[in-house]
Amino acid sequence: MTEPHVEVKTRIQFGLRTFGAAPSPVATDLEYGSADPYAVTAVLHAGTGPVRWTFGRDLLADGLIATAGEGDVAVAPAADPSLVVIVLNSPDGAAVLEAPAQEVAAFLDRTYQAVPAGEESAWFDFDDELAKLAVRDS
């Protein structure tokens, strides 16, 4: 495992799409850490408290170019090429968000500078992750 771990964070103004109205602004922190090198987390600051969604870094990157993902998270270019659309699905409902594609791409560039594509396994501690699973099963 490579040390020390690095973190990349940025705040981006997402827009929550609603029917018949302009998107509502949602302050969103995008977070990446080499301790979990395959994932990014979006922390949405809306409602009664922050909501965290963790999903694949490659999913976010692929979604800047073409529709990617299915199930809980999907990312796709918007009709407006300056935006990317992120769809979050849960048993409680769904949210359709838009974000400035250039800002998302700049965040991703910083994550790939920290941990280049294909080098994630050098940062990933498989033994630690297996130990976490063993504790959950107990």
Confidence of residue 4 (pLDDT cuts 50, 70, 90): confident
> Which residues are CB-neighbours of 107 under 8 A, at least 6 positions away?
8, 10, 12, 30, 32
| pTM of this structure | 0.86
pLDDT digits (tens, 9 = 90+) for 6-33: 999 999 999 999 888 888 999 999 999 9
Domain boundaries, the chain: 7-130
CATH of domain 7-130: 2.30.31.20
